[in-house]
A and B are shown apart, each in its own frame.
Chain A
Amino acid sequence: MNCDEFKLRIDDLLDGRLSAAEAREAEVHLERCPDCAAELAETVGLAARIAELPRTLEPERDPWPGIAARLAEDRVARGRFGRRELAVAASILLAAAAVIGAYLIGRQQALTASAPAAAPAAGAVEAEALLASFDALGVLDYATTRQALLEVLERRREQLAPETFALVMANLELIEESMARIATALGADPGNELLQRQLVTAYRRQVDLLERAARLPSRV
């Protein structure tokens, strides 16, 4: 087995999908090739970090109390300060906070992995960079839309069956978890087109779900 063949089989090796003979060939190659040994170690480290991410980003079991509380705070703030500016700022922060947090975690991990001695990135600059990329992807409208739809959904909560509301919230949570995972990966690889597409798709799915939930027919 040469280096190219080994690199192509790293995932299969880690997933235990190599035959006994192939695994032995890989082992022999590793013993005499420090470059491939280093790449294997790097891949193992990356896989371990990815495996850890969902646990570090796991939201509350029921995210609604937190969302409702933030909505309430937002309403109070609007009364005290400029309504339009605060609404825009709050909606962007509300929508982007979790994703930016995930992005920063991924970015920090990538920096740590590639240059352990490097100084930590400035969070505000990274957040601005990510927001700029959101703007380029056309998702800042999403933040405003999402906020408005969450408010409509909150007002309609009593009109929906509790199990329907719970199901909608559970699926919104599922989408947000996916968004956080994608954002973490995007933090480590900001130019990745697949991840950018997936993140935009996740945003769209969330708005679609909120729109549908906001216009669901009422129960008796």
Chain B
Amino acid sequence: MKRKNLRLLALVVLLVATATAPLAAAQPVNERHPVAAGAEVSIENIAGSLTISAWEQPEVEITGTLGDGVEGIEVSSNEEGIEIEVKYEENFRGRHTSETELVIRVPQGSPLDVETVSCSIAVSGVTAPVELESVSGAIRVADRPQALEAETVSGSIDVASAPDGAELASVSGAIRVGSSQGRVEAENVSGSILVEGGTLGGGSFETVSGEITCKAIPGASGSIDMETMSGSITLVADPGAAASYELETFSGTISNQFGPEATRTSQYTPEKELRFSTGSGGPSISLSSFSGSIKLLSR
């Protein structure tokens, strides 16, 4: 009987421990801090997720939960800005049963600067300049900020509407721009670059082995340069729009749906080039590769 009671007690202790462990790990957060008009909001977090949206209040609101290994949130502010840092225990060795998931509301006109390691970043509604950096977390920007810089190593970058002068960079994460307005610069190494729509007032897209695809409409002037080593380049353009094209590859292929064929530039190397214009004036479009294929498709 005693043995049976002991086993029952052990089972109850185990169940209670199991049930309370996650509750103890996830600490709820709900705090607000005033922010001077136009002051920058800086946020740092290592792991989990950050969902950031804009509101019209002159303060920052932080809600959500803090995961395992987090000591708390450190907030410091002055007239120039407010810094929000999720502080981690230096020697945390426990199990990560819960992540830090924060929902942060910031003043609509406050510039935003976010840095994470494996934490995803989602931003919406911010109209001021935005600077986002993550190592492996995905970055998503839902609306068009005044200016945008986004960088990852392996995380993807998804921008619904890129502002003029947007700068996007990754190493292996896919970069996608839903719509562009003005000049966009994007760099990748093995990841892809895709510009799905909008108008490009200019642009520079570079990869080493990643694919580059652009379906945006080139603006009336400016230059659009796409360069890759071994990746492919695909540009979808309007044959009726005025533009001057310069396509060149060392050992790749060039296909063109609405202009002349590429010609070899030397009898000793496989290099090919294609230069032609549609109409008069318009943007200068340059597509260049070492061994990747180049396709100019008709819209």
Contacts and interface: CB of A to CB of B under 8 A. Distances in A.
Interface string A153-185: 000000001011001101100110010011001
Interface stretch (B14-22, B113-121, B277-285): B113-121
Contact of A201 (B227, B251, B263): B227
Nearest to A9: B261
Interface stretch (B4-12, B75-83, B215-223, B266-274): B266-274
Contact of B271 (A161, A174, A192, A201): A192
A218 B116 CA distance: 9
A11 B270 contact: yes
B61 interface: no
Given A167-B172, A174-B209, A189 B268 contact: yes
Contact of A220 (B47, B116, B263): B47
Contact of A198 (B115, B153, B172, B229): B229
B104 interface: no
A174 B269 CA distance: 23
A68 interface: no
A57 interface: no
A201 B206 contact: yes
A171 B189 contact: yes
Interface string A186-202: 00110010110110011
A47 interface: yes
Contact of A178 (B187, B229, B266, B271): B229
Chain B interface: which size bin? 35 or more
A209 B206 CA distance: 13
A46 B268 contact: yes
Interface string B219-237: 0000000010110000000
B88 interface: yes
B248 interface: yes
Interface string A126-151: 00000000000000000000000000
Contacts of A83: none
B117 A212 contact: no
B34 to A, nearest CB: 27
Interface string B135-152: 110000000000000010
B63 interface: no
The binding surface of chain B is classed by DSSP as loop
A15 B253 contact: yes
B189 A205 contact: yes
Contacts of A167: 153-154, 171-172
A43 interface: yes
Nearest to B116: A217
Chain A interface: which size bin? 35 or more
B290 A198 contact: yes
A122 interface: no
B264 interface: yes
A175 B186 CA distance: 17
B258 interface: no
B291 interface: yes
B112 interface: no
Interface in A67-101: none
A211 B118 CA distance: 19
A175 B206 CA distance: 13
B27 interface: no
Nearest to A14: B270
Given A188-B268, A216-B153, A220-B92, 19 more contacts: A10-B264, A15-B253, A163-B154, A164-B135, A167-B154, A171-B172, A178-B209, A178-B229, A178-B290, A185-B269, A197-B288, A198-B288, A205-B208, A209-B171, A213-B153, A217-B46, A217-B133, A219-B118, A220-B88
10 contacts: A7-B264, A11-B253, A167-B172, A174-B208, A175-B189, A189-B266, A192-B250, A201-B227, A212-B153, A212-B169
| 10 nearest A-B residue pairs (beta carbon) | A178-B229, A171-B189, A220-B88, A198-B290, A171-B171, A217-B117, A219-B117, A175-B208, A189-B269, A164-B135
